[in-house]
A and B are shown apart, each in its own frame.
Chain A
Amino acid sequence: MSSHIESLEASTDYDKNNPTNSNISAPKSDDEDAPSSKKIEEHTSVVAAHYNHLKEKGLKERFNSPIFYLRNFNNWVKSVLIQEYTDKIREKDYGKPLKVLDICCGKGGDLSKWQKARVERVIFADIAKVSVQQCETRYEDLRRRCGHLYSAEFIAADCTKDTLRDKYADPSINFDIVSCQFGFHYSFESLIQARRMLTNISECLKPDGYFFGTIPDAYEIVSRAQKSQNFAFGNRIFNIKLLFDPKEGYPLFGAKYDFHLEGVVDCPEFLVNFDLLVKLAAEYGLELVYKARFSDFYKDHTEKYKQLLQRIICFESYPARPGKELIGEPSEYEHARIIWDEMDKSNTRDCIGTMSVCEWEVATIYMAFAFKKQKHVWDSNGKPSYITSADKK
């Protein structure tokens, strides 16, 4: 499931540290889930096949990636989300052993993020069997290297069609956190799939637990598409094209578009109308507590997580360091040049950290969100009736 970005991120995570295992770690692209009922099967297999067949890329290739900083930035976003929400849970119960469902885990781009968050158990699930296997291998490798590590379980399943709960070693498990990074939008191929996905996400999530994730923002995509010719837009590293005719309206589900991201993903995806998601999620006891497009997410968290930005090299040094070149064309750094020209350069070591416009155009397609699981009471039909924060007031 995890789609492009995850790839982006995943790559960040592991490989670099582990050059010797570059064959394993290269989380280049990811996997994801795919959806739907009839033809869906076709789509599902397309997606699974896509991720299953992605070649692991070597280190060298990865670091030459035109989306190096974008990837790192995506990793930053995910790290921040994980940190923020594990912290929130621990605020209430400090020593609590946290259980996590990493749904659409891909090759396990967040393996070490969970380690850093000191969780106790993680179930990794993804539609692409090969990705799940790689995730497991990477987990074993990480465990060998660091000794102690959370316990884990690996499940290859179409999370938009299968009941995950039946596959857990302990079907009575309850999660504190469900994380779905760059994958949830695949479930919006159909209402049935979106429902299955939300069931999988919500049914084992504890009251007051969090479901958070990252998806492409439909408003951002549609607005750029409407300003483009033929509802297609992009730059040197990505292209998006709507695969339906907007003149006939925007389907609530199955609003398919093609997303090509350099070296990572080339695969159909589905618009997630966020208001619709919020409405649907409410049926599963999930109440929205946070959402932000990546540009705002960055602003919201940059102060607190500034060091992490540097550490994982989310931005490119501008101007280029001696003997190096910028990753993009000079025209992609006009914003930085203007600032640079105005800067006092008394300290010769100083430079600016930024991202090429092309990479930023991709980053800003995405949004992050978090839902909180509501408490419930049972109604007379034996169905859960969720207590929303509005009810409490």
Chain B
Amino acid sequence: MTAVDNLSDKDKEFLAECEEQFKDRYTEKDEEFMKVFNAEKSIPPIVKNWWVPQNSGHRNDRRNNRHYNPYEQSGNRNYDRRGRRDYHDNYERRGNFSRTDNYERRGYNDYNRDNDNRPSYNRPYRK
């Protein structure tokens, strides 16, 4: 597969050296590989007290963790622009929360998922 013919002498040398150095790759003699090969199958993470915002989603997670997350809006006081915006956002949110505003407000959108954004497998309540 490799276009060996096009290789410079230096690269041919490099490849030869690698073939030697990594000759045991993906075999029982490859220690690192065998660690993976023999590892128990990874079990999906479990997070207790998992809470996904139901309707007015972010209200909750946002307020509770302000100082935790570097991504948190209100955590970034140092950046004026952002700080001001956040303040405004929060203020606004408490009053008339409107989703449109929310979308347009800033680039946080990717993380601001309302329930609406969740997989809509079965959402009878939305009819």
Contacts and interface: CB of A to CB of B under 8 A. Distances in A.
Interface of A: 12-14, 16-20, 36-40, 60, 63-65, 68, 75, 79, 83, 87, 111-113, 115-116, 118, 142, 145-146, 148-149, 189-192, 195, 217-220, 222-223, 226-227, 244, 246, 250-256, 273, 275-276, 279, 293, 295, 298, 302, 305-313, 315, 317-318, 323-325, 327, 335-336, 339, 343, 349-357, 359-360, 364
B109 A14 contact: yes
B6 A37 contact: yes
B9 to A, nearest CB: 13
B70 A276 contact: no
Nearest to A66: B119
Contacts of A113: 110
B107 A145 contact: yes
Contact of B112 (A17, A63, A254, A318): A17
B47 A253 contact: no
Contacts of A219: 26, 32-33, 36-37
A217 B51 CA distance: 31
B107 A311 contact: no
Contacts of B120: 60, 63-64
Contacts of B112: 17, 311
What DSSP secondary structure best describes chain A's contact surface? helix
A145 B18 CA distance: 50
Nearest to B42: A295
A308 B70 CA distance: 9
Interface centre among B2, B51, B82 (most CB of A within 10 A): B2
Contacts of A253: 1-2
Interface of B: 1-3, 6-7, 11, 14-15, 18-19, 21-22, 25-26, 32-33, 36-37, 42-52, 58, 61-62, 64-65, 68-72, 76, 79, 81-82, 103-113, 117-125
18 contacts: A63-B119, A64-B119, A116-B107, A148-B81, A191-B7, A222-B33, A223-B37, A275-B22, A308-B71, A311-B58, A311-B62, A313-B113, A315-B45, A323-B122, A324-B123, A327-B119, A353-B45, A364-B42
B2 to A, nearest CB: 5
A349 B51 contact: yes
A115 B107 contact: yes
A192 B113 contact: no
